């Protein structure tokens, strides 16, 4: 019973408590209930379980009967749940609670309750006290209820946790997909803060800039933007508001430094109070290039000479270029507001659509029309129309060309054809036109007159079977006419026979051309013929006469010529042509061509002499220069007489020419040799004293350098002295070249002239003004020449330097040409000293001021110069001439004022290989105390010689007076191991001294030193007992070598 009582009391207590709970709600309790509902609603919406919100609301309303209205309103005013009881509240009370909804959204829960159902909680205290004992009976029920609620809530929490995990999984998958999309996005993506530092980039950003992701994340905007645009970017970013975007244009810099244009869309996003910028950069290089090409295409179209129209099917003009506007006098806007009927007076609106469809069917069409300009002028045009479809729309695309000039030309051609027909009928020429089949379509009266046919008989007949001999008909038809028609190429000039109606053969010379139609196809042949039957007969008779004359002229060594005065034609015999280097089959000259061959300075004299001979009937006898084929001039003696016709008018001059070149050059060479001989005598005396001085300079410089070996500055000064001495010695060699006393056979060797030329060109190029161009042409496989390389080098330098000076400050061209040349007997006679045979020909040409004939006569004379005082010695070309003669060569000169000058040098070729020069010995041979007698009247020479030889280990006795030296030798003949003697000394020269001491000691080695002596031939030296000739100036090394060679074998250190 106690248990039942407890259960009854508990049940009553439970029912009473619930009723009391429903009726004792306060405003605070209502607020707390709504807050709890809001929290539960917010949790459901955040987890994405919006479908549970309605169930929560319905359960909540069922627990609180005092609630009469409940509304849940989402952001934007959308009502998601609206509850209203059937009974209205007696004392309504409203309350609204805001809550977060979704991401960044805000919803509202609105509640209306009936206050009359509320009861003050203090009125229930005595009831609760009265039934306090019954509370214990309901404890079991309460605990059971709590456990049940707890289990329900746990199930709900587990379900919500599973839902949350599922949502997180979906979120991670979406984030992964988003990352993939970003990485695969074709544009470069950058995320950076307000300072410009990169926070994230995608793969395309790395590819476009050439960096790795790690490298880019260490950089910022300033590292990839140009300096000119970075300030503008910062200004734009600062003005950008949250969620606002802006399009920027600029250029970005790749890792390799190259720039490329980009288009960047920037969006600002604020996160956690920090401003971030997301930029999408697109490379627009291709778009820029396309825009440029499009602009060029538009320019090309607008600049086209022909007018361009785009016309719609209704005839509206949709586009025109500049030519269309200019040619018609309209502005572009005016033409675009017009129809084609407004321009073409012949075009009708009702026929335009049919015309448009015809072009659409054929694809394109070319026709002629007329257009009207703004001022009312109508002119002819040629229209090339095509049908095009663009973006689903059809157009007539037309290029229109003004053919006013062509129409005028066609009219003029028609007039010209009519005039031609009139002229053709009035001249003695055969006019003929044939169609493609060879039928006659036109013939002149002259053809009819010489053949005996009538016009109506021949028009339409086959030309070949009617007018050609039977043995030539098919040959000319197939090989000439048909082949020409098919190939489009026909011999413009042709000769063949035709047959008259009476059977007579006439020889006709034809001028032919193919006739073409408007589209270029061949439609026939047009020919003009000249009857040359009588002329051919006369030519045959003339050839027979000429044959007899040729047999006569071949028997003379002179060249024969005849000048036909009325026609100006001139005949020259084969011998005449051969003398000038031309072949016998060279086309004949006229009088003008002959005058071109005459030297410019002789032309006035030749013309005056010819005029005098013709006028006075006197013999013609003159000397002149004729230009040969190679470019040089030939001196000839020309003699002739004048023939007159019956009326006394001059008819022709007949004469001959004799070659005077060899005679004149022999006289010139003789004069030159006499001059050079005189200069050589003077040069020899100067050279002797000068070489003695240079020997002393060489010796003391070498000794001083050996003494000052560790003093770099002093040795540098001494080297400069030695170089100056070598330049002075070179000057002596140039002076001696006048008399050809240097460069004899003993100094000759095989020399590669092409290698010397390459070296000279290199030297001249570095010292020549940039206004002068140096050109060098060298043939391959050139043989060597026998010569002195130093002297040949000097020839090239002298000629090159003279050419540069001749061109001065103006622009010019210096040309070297080196090739082989076979010198014939005639050429050898014109270049004295040169034998016929294979040669190397060196040509040096310039485009300078040139030389007159008077200057050319004296150009090789010593000390002759045309330069200002102090600017030239006149030795250069004299030295060149002397060196060429000593090498058994020849030199020629061609020059024309204000045109230029060419020197040609011919040197005999040899088959020997060039000598290989060995390296100079590093050490000098030394002696072992041998006693040397040194005699020279120059104190500096014997002083340096004594010091040098003693330094090399010899004992030296010196004397500058030959007689004292001889007396000393006679007293001590056995003391000396070698005698070193100067040749030119007072009282006793070197050879005489050598003969005296040789009589005392026959086997004594004797060496003679000489600065210049042409008398010291090898025979005289051998007869005097001299073993070797030592040329001055000499170096200590040369002296040591000569002394060692003429003594017993010695060692070196």
How far from the centroid of its chain's Cα atoms is residue 406's Cα? 41
Q: Which residues of 969-1000 are buried (b: 16+ CB within 10 A; e: fewer)?
A: beeeeeebbbbbbbbbbeebbbbebbeebbee
- The pLDDT tens digits for 533-552 are 888 888 888 887 777 766 76
DSSP 8-state code for residue 1052: B
Answer whether the bond into residue 352 is a cis peptide, omega within 30°: no
CA-angle at 305, arms to 301 and 306, nearest 5° = 80
**Residues 599, 582 contacting (CB under 8 angstroms):** no
Domains of the chain, CATH where assigned: 2-151 (3.30.450), 185-288 (3.30.450.20), 304-402 (3.30.450.20), 407-531 (3.30.450.20), 537-659 (3.30.450.20), 745-913 (3.30.565.10), 931-1046 (3.40.50.2300)
The whole-number pLDDT of residue 19 equals 42
Q: How far apart are CA 736 and CA 683, in angstroms?
A: 6
Q: Which residue stretches of 51-110 are H helix? A: 53-63
pLDDT category, 995, cuts 50, 70, 90?
very high
Question: Residues 6 or more apart from 1 whose CB is under 8 A from it?
Answer: none
694-720 per-residue burial string, b: 16 or more CB within 10 A, e: under 16: bbbbbbbbbbebeeeeeeeeebeebee
Give the pLDDT confidence score for residue 907 in this predicted structure: 93
- Angstrom CA distances, 287 to 253, 258, 261, 263, 399, stand at 18, 18, 9, 11, 29
Whole-number pLDDT of residue 1007? 93
Instruction: Look at residue 1053 and tell me whether its pLDDT is greater than 50.
Output: no
Rounded CA gap, 388 and 394, in Å?
6
Q: Return contacts of 266-275, CB within 8 angstroms, 24+ apart.
A: 266/236, 266/237, 266/240, 267/243, 268/237, 268/240, 268/241, 268/242, 268/243, 268/244, 269/242, 269/243, 270/242, 274/193, 275/193, 275/194, 275/242
Residue 744: pLDDT band (50, 70, 90) is very low
217 closest CA partner among 232, 231, 197, 233: 197
Task: List CB contacts of 28: < 8 A, sequence separation 6 or more.
Answer: none
> Mean pLDDT lowest for which of 181-190, 307-316, 588-597?
181-190
Contact 986, 957 (CB under 8 A): no
Please report the pLDDT score of residue 713 as a whole number: 67
Q: What is the pTM of this model?
A: 0.32
C-alpha closest to that of 379 among 306, 320, 327: 327
Query: Residue 941 and residue 1034: Cα distance in Å, rounded?
Result: 10
Q: What are the CA-CA distances from residue 534 to residues 18, 430, 501 (Å)? A: 155, 16, 19
Q: What is the mean pLDDT of residues 705-722?
A: 71
Least confidently predicted of 39-43, 416-420, 479-483, 1044-1048: 39-43
Beta bridge partners of 564: 652
Residue 918 exposure: Cα atoms within 13 Å on the Cβ side: 3
Judging by DSSP bridges, how do beta strands 1006-1010 and 1028-1031 pair with one another? parallel
Listed residue (573, 620, 625) closest to 596, CA to CA: 625
CA atoms within 13 A on the CB side of 643: 11
Q: What is the pLDDT of residues 107-164, one digit of tens each?
A: 777 777 766 665 443 344 434 434 444 444 456 556 677 777 777 777 776 766 666 6
- In the chain, how long is the greatest CA-to-CA distance? 190
State the Cα–Cα distance between residues 108 and 160, nearest whole angstrom. 23
Tell me the pLDDT band of 312, cut-offs 50, 70 and 90. Answer: very high
The pLDDT tens digits of the residues spanning 767-809 come to 788 888 999 999 988 999 988 887 888 888 888 888 888 888 8
Per DSSP, the residues of 104-158 read TEEEEEEEEEEGGG---GGGGHHHHHHTHHHHHHTHHHHHHHHHHHHHHHHHHHH
Closest CA to 1038 of 1007, 998, 1017: 1007
For residue 165, count other CB atoms closer than 10 A to its CB.
Answer: 10
pLDDT for 21 equals: 45
Specify the DSSP class assigned to residue 558. Answer: S
What is the pLDDT at residue 527?
Answer: 87
Contact predicate 532/507, CB 8 Å: yes
**Cα–Cα–Cα angle for 515, 517, 521, rounded to 5 degrees:** 85
Whole-number average pLDDT of the chain: 79
The answer to whether the CB of 386 falls within 8 A of the CB of 363 is yes
**What is the mean predicted confidence (pLDDT) over 55-73?**
72
What DSSP line would sit under 984-1030, residue for residue? S-SSS-HHHHHHHHHHH-TT--EEEEES--TT--HHHHHHTT--EEE
68-77, 281-290, 933-942, 960-969: segment of lowest average pLDDT: 68-77
> Residue 965, exposed/middle/buried by CB under 10 A (0-12, 13-18, 19+)?
buried
Least confident of 1-15, 694-708, 1028-1042: 1-15
Highest mean pLDDT among 55-59, 503-507, 823-827 belongs to 503-507
- pLDDT at position 20 is 44
Tokens of 702: 């070498």
CA distances from 43 to 72, 157, 162, 1011 (A): 15, 11, 14, 125
Lowest mean pLDDT, pick from 204-213, 404-413, 526-535: 404-413
Question: What pLDDT score does 66 carry?
Answer: 72
Confidence check: pLDDT of 938 > 60: yes
Element (H, E) at 949: helix 939-951
Q: What is the pLDDT of residues 331-372, one digit of tens each?
A: 989 999 999 988 899 888 888 888 898 988 888 899 999 999
Rounded CA-CA distance 493/1034 in Å is 79
Please determine, for residue 853, whether its predicted confidence score (pLDDT) is greater than 70.
yes
Over range 962-966, report the average pLDDT.
92
Three-state secondary structure readout of 29-40: HHHHHHHHHHHH
Q: What is the pLDDT of residues 615-665, one digit of tens each?
A: 988 889 998 999 988 888 888 888 999 999 888 889 899 888 888 876 776
Instruction: Pick the range with the lowest mean pLDDT from 5-19, 54-68, 667-681.
Output: 5-19
Distances (CA, A) of 672 to 799, 832, 854: 19, 12, 15
Mean pLDDT of 693-697: 72
- When pLDDT is averaged across residues 951-961 and rounded to a whole number, the result is 90
Distance between CA 381 and CA 96 in Å, rounded? 86
Most confidently modeled range among 104-118, 408-422, 648-662, 739-753: 648-662
User: In the chain, what is the straight-line distance between the N-terminal and C-terminal CA atoms, in Å?
Assistant: 151
* Chain segment 1017-1047, per-residue pLDDT in tens: 888 888 888 999 888 877 888 888 899 999 8
List pLDDT tens digits, range 552-577: 666 677 888 888 888 888 888 888 88
Integer Cα distance of 385 and 367 in angstroms:
8
- How does 320-331 read in b/e, with b if 16+ C-beta sit within 10 Å? bbebbbebbebe
Q: What is the pLDDT of residue 762?
A: 84
Spatial neighbors of 770 by CB under 8 A, at least 6 apart, are none
Does the pLDDT value for residue 599 go beyond 90?
A: yes
- Which pLDDT band, with edges at 50, 70 and 90, does 585 fall under? confident
The residue count of the chain comes to 1053
**Collapsing DSSP states into helix, strand and coil, what is residue 660?**
coil
Cα–Cα distance, 539 to 544 (Å, whole number)? 9
Query: Residue 831 CB: number of other CB atoms within 10 A?
Result: 23
839: pLDDT strictly greater than 90: yes
Question: What pLDDT, on the 0 to 100 scale, is given for residue 50?
Answer: 52
> Which uninterrupted H or E stretch holds 162?
helix 139-184
d(CA 376, CA 394): 30
- Higher-confidence residue of 592 and 426: namely 592
Phi-psi category of residue 310: left, alpha or beta, with phi > 0 → left and psi -120 to 50 → alpha = beta
Q: Do β-strands 393-402 and 430-435 pair in parallel, antiparallel, or remain unpaired? A: unpaired
Name which of 969, 984, 987, 982 is nearest 1029 in CA terms. Answer: 982
Is 50 exceeded by the pLDDT of residue 878? yes
Cα dihedral across residues 110, 113, 115, 119: positive or negative = negative
Which pLDDT belongs to residue 132? 44
Can you give the pLDDT at residue 25? 44
Please list, in sequence order, all residues whose beta carbon lies within 8 angstroms of the beta carbon of residue 41, skipping any fewer than 6 positions away. Answer: 53, 56, 57, 72, 99, 107, 109
Cα 1016 to Cα 744: distance, rounded to the nearest angstrom: 13
């Amino acid at each position: 019973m106690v248990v039942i009582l407890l259960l009854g009391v508990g049940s009553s207590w439970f029912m009473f408590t619930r009723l009391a709970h429903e009726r004792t709600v306060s405003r605070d309790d209502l607020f707390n209930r709504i807050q709890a509902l809001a929290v539960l609603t917010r949790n459901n919406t955040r987890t994405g379980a919006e479908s549970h919100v309605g169930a929560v609301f319905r359960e909540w309303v069922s627990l609180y009967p005092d609630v009469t209205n409940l509304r849940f309103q989402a952001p934007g005013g959308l009502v998601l749940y609206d509850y209203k009881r059937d009974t209205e509240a007696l004392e309504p009370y409203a309350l609204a609670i805001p809550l977060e909804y979704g991401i960044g959204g805000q919803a509202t829960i609105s509640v209306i309750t009936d206050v009359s159902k509320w009861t003050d909680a203090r009125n229930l205290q005595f009831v609760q006290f009265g039934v306090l004992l019954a509370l214990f009976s309901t404890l079991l029920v309460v605990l059971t209820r709590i456990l049940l609620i707890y289990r329900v809530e746990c199930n709900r929490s587990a379900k919500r946790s599973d839902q949350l995990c599922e949502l997180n999984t979906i979120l991670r998958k979406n984030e992964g997909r988003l990352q993939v999309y970003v990485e695969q996005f074709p544009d470069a993506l950058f995320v950076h803060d307000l300072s410009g530092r990169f926070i994230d980039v995608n793969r395309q950003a790395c590819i476009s800039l050439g960096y790795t992701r790690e490298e880019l994340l260490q950089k910022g905007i300033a590292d990839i933007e140009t300096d000119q645009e970075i300030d503008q970017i910062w200004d734009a970013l600062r003005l950008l508001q949250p969620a606002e975007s802006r399009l920027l244009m600029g250029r970005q810099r790749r890792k390799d430094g190259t720039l490329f244009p980009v288009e960047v869309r920037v969006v600002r996003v604020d996160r956690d109070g920090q401003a971030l910028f997301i930029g999408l950069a697109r490379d627009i290089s291709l778009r820029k290039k396309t825009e440029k090409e499009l602009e060029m295409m538009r320019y090309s179209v607008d600049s086209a000479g022909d007018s361009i129209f785009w016309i719609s099917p209704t005839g509206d003009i949709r586009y025109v270029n500049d030519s269309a506007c200019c040619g018609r006098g309209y502005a572009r806007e005016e033409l675009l507001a017009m129809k084609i009927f407004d321009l073409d007076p012949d075009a009708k609106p009702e026929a335009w659509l049919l015309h448009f469809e015809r072009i659409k069917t054929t694809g394109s069409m070319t026709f002629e029309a007329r257009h009207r300009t703004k001022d009312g002028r109508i002119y002819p045009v040629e229209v090339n129309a095509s049908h095009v479809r663009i973006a689903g729309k059809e157009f007539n695309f037309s290029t229109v060309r003004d053919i006013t000039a062509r129409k005028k030309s066609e009219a003029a051609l028609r007039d010209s054809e009519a005039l031609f027909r009139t002229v053709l009928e009035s001249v003695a020429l055969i006019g003929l036109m044939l169609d493609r089949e060879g039928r006659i379509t036109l013939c002149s009266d002259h053809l009819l007159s010489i053949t005996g046919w009538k016009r109506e008989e021949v028009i339409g007949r086959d030309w070949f079977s009617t007018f050609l001999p039977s043995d030539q008909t098919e040959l000319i038809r197939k090989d000439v006419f048909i082949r020409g028609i098919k190939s489009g190429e026909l011999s413009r000039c042709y000769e063949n026979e035709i047959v008259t109606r009476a059977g007579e053969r006439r020889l006709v010379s034809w001028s032919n051309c193919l006739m073409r139609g408007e589209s270029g196809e061949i439609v026939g042949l047009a020919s003009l013929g000249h009857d040359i039957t009588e002329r051919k007969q006369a030519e045959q008779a003339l050839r027979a006469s000429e044959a007899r004359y040729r047999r006569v002229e071949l028997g003379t060594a002179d060249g024969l010529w005849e000048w036909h005065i009325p026609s100006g034609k001139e005949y020259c015999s084969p011998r005449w042509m051969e003398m000038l280097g031309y072949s016998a089959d060279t086309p004949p000259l006229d009088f003008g061509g002959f005058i071109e061959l005459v030297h410019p300075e002789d032309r006035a004299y030749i013309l005056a002499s010819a005029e005098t001979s013709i006028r006075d009937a006197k013999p013609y006898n003159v000397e002149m220069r004729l230009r040969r084929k190679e470019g040089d001039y030939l001196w000839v003696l020309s003699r002739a007489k004048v023939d007159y016709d019956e009326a006394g008018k001059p008819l022709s001059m007949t004469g001959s020419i004799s070659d005077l070149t060899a005679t004149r050059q022999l006289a010139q060479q003789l004069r030159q040799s006499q001059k050079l001989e005189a200069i050589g005598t003077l040069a020899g005396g100067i050279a002797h004293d000068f070489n003695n001085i240079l020997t002393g300079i060489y010796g003391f410089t070498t000794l001083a350098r050996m003494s000052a070996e560790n003093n770099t500055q002093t040795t540098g000064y001494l080297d400069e002295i030695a170089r100056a001495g070598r330049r002075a010695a070179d000057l002596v060699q140039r002076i001696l070249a006048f008399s050809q006393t240097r460069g004899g056979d003993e100094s000759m060797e095989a020399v590669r002239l092409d290698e010397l030329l390459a070296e000279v060109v290199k030297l001249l190029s570095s010292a020549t003004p940039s206004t002068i161009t140096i050109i060098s042409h060298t043939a391959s496989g050139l043989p060597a020449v026998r010569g002195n390389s130093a002297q040949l080098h000097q020839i090239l330098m002298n000629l090159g330097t003279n050419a540069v000076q001749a061109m001065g400050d103006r622009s010019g061209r210096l040309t070297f040409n080196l090739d082989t040349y076979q010198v014939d007997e005639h050429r050898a006679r014109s270049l004295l000293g040169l034998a016929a045979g294979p040669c190397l020909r060196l040509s040096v040409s310039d485009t300078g001021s040139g030389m007159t004939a008077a200057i050319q006569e004296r150009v090789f004379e010593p000390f002759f110069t045309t330069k200002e005082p102090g600017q030239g010695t006149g030795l250069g070309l004299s030295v060149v001439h002397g060196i060429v003669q000593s090498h058994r060569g020849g030199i020629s000169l061609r020059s024309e004022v204000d045109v230029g000058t060419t020197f040609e040098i011919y040197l005999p070729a040899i088959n020997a290989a060039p000598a290989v020069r060995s390296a100079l010995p590093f050490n000098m041979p030394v002696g072992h105390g041998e006693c040397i007698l040194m005699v020279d009247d120059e104190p500096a020479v014997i002083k340096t010689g004594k010091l040098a030889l003693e330094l090399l280990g010899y004992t030296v006795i010196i004397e500058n007076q030959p007689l004292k030296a001889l007396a000393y030798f006679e007293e001590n003949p056995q003391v000396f191991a070698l005698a070193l003697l100067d040749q030119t000394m007072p009282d006793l020269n070197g050879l005489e001294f050598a003969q005296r001491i040789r009589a005392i000691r026959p086997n004594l080695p004797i060496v003679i030193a000489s600065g210049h002596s042409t008398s010291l031939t090898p025979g005289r030296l051998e007869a005097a007992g001299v073993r070797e000739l030592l040329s001055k100036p000499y170096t200590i090394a040369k002296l040591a070598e000569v002394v060692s060679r003429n003594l017993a074998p010695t060692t070196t250190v």
